[in-house]
Structure 1
């Protein structure tokens, strides 16, 4: 029997269950033993087992099915999203932007409304004034790109973008401090072409403009 001596007990029980899943004791999709079996194995009460299971369910490792039991949903707990983003370098952030924004631009061209288009145009005008410095320009640029993603009307794409906006902001500030030429008339014109493609409902051109712009940023890291 494994004894748990430290507190909180539920955290320790969750760690032990996760270790057993990682070791291959239970395979993907397999049903876990019941609380009456797990409790004595872990040296805790059934309520602690229930809390440990709730923790692992919240981390995406286990899934409780009403009237059926608890099943293995993943073989490890995914790393915290914020921790991943804090560790990511600028190139990785830009690659993530390419994946999200090129698809969002294509969808925006197909789905944008007149209201969306007005928001995009306002944001485009807003990013044209960088007199207040790099950080203000980055914020205006982020608002423009977010307006394109919002026009795609896909809440998952928007949530992904919003999730890494803090790391994105940091990355772009660092980028422009290294390569200030990325902001200027030519850069504004490229963004205008993206807005025009969305306005024209040209999905292919919108995706292409988005991808080309971000690939250019990535090349600037070299």
Structure 2
């Protein structure tokens, strides 16, 4: 589709869409140098600042790159997905398999490194999970995730903490759907209470292998339900 003047609003978003279309349809193949800022502004019927913002947005997605003194060039014909976007698009079972790897090791490290402050946080998170037994599924899942987050935090490894933070949003809705679909709390409102208590107890006792086993048992049980749902 040839370029043409844009509607009044929102101009930057429209400019991004028009320029992206020129790239994705092959009108501007990879390696092409874009027309100058002034030319693009005149063709699209917008100001140069709008073009500048649109180019910046497309550069952030990996489609364009500015070369000092040479101009702006197309470097890809499809955007590069960031990590959160890739997680949202991934199968929840694939995400959960990796989460299991992370949290089993986190539980082991938490048992070895936990502080008094960590233990207090774990007790509070476990109590909040129990208290949510009468709450809607979404709140119960949130409290469950909070408990697992506290275990990861007790491992005192910032990379594990960051990884869990990325995984949690991708899992939340899937876990809510799973609880509702399988009616896991219909007869057991505090579903998984025993395994979570064992996890916290093992971390508090400093028993790394027991903590890892408790985490693995809980997470692999959920993974099994995801696969059969």
Confirm or deny a common fold (TM above 0.5). yes
| Normalised-by-shorter TM-score class | 0.5 to 0.7
Q: Which whole-Å CA distance do the structure 1 matches of 2:118 and 2:145 have between them?
A: 16
1:23 Cα offset (Å): 3.1
* Inter-partner Cα distance in structure 1 for 2:76 and 2:215: 36
What are structure 2's unaligned runs of at least 5 residues?
none
Q: 2:180 aligns with which of 174, 178, 197?
A: 174
- Unmatched segments (≥5 aa) in structure 1: none
1:189 corresponds in structure 2 to 194
Q: Structure 1 stretches (4+) deviating beyond 6 angstroms?
A: none
Do 1:104 and 1:157's aligned partners in 2 also have CA atoms closer than 8 Å?
A: no
Q: Measured at CA, do residues 171 and 57 of structure 1 come closer, stay the same or move farther in structure 2, by a change above 3 Å?
A: farther
User: Any conservation in 1 of the 2:92–2:171 contact (CA below 8 Å)?
Assistant: no
Match of 1:55 among 49, 57, 82: 57
Distance in 2 separating the partners of 1:147 and 1:210: 13
Please list the CA deviations of residues 51-102 of structure 1 after superposition, one character each: whole Å capped at 9, or x if unmatched. Answer: 21133345x23466684765647723649x69x95x99xxx44553442353
Shift of 1:169: 5.9
1:3 aligned onto 2:4: yes
Contact preservation (8 Å) 1:197, 1:205: yes
Matches within 5 A, 1:82-97: 92-93=91-92, 95-97=94-96
Cα separation, 2, equivalents of 1:159 and 1:172: 20
TM-score by length of structure 2 reads: 0.65
Q: Is the 8 A contact 1:120 1:148 kept in 2?
A: yes
The correspondence of residues 1-222 of structure 1 with structure 2, limited to 5 A, is: 2-8=3-9, 9-24=11-26, 25-27=28-30, 32-33=33-34, 34-36=36-38, 38-39=40-41, 42=44, 44-57=46-59, 60-62=61-63, 67=68, 70=72, 72=75, 75-76=78-79, 78=81, 92-93=91-92, 95-107=94-106, 109-110=108-109, 112-114=113-115, 115-129=117-131, 132-135=134-137, 137-152=140-155, 153-154=158-159, 155-164=161-170, 167-168=173-174, 170-175=176-181, 177=183, 180=186, 187-196=192-201, 198-199=203-204, 200=206, 202=208, 206=211, 209-220=214-225, 221-222=228-229
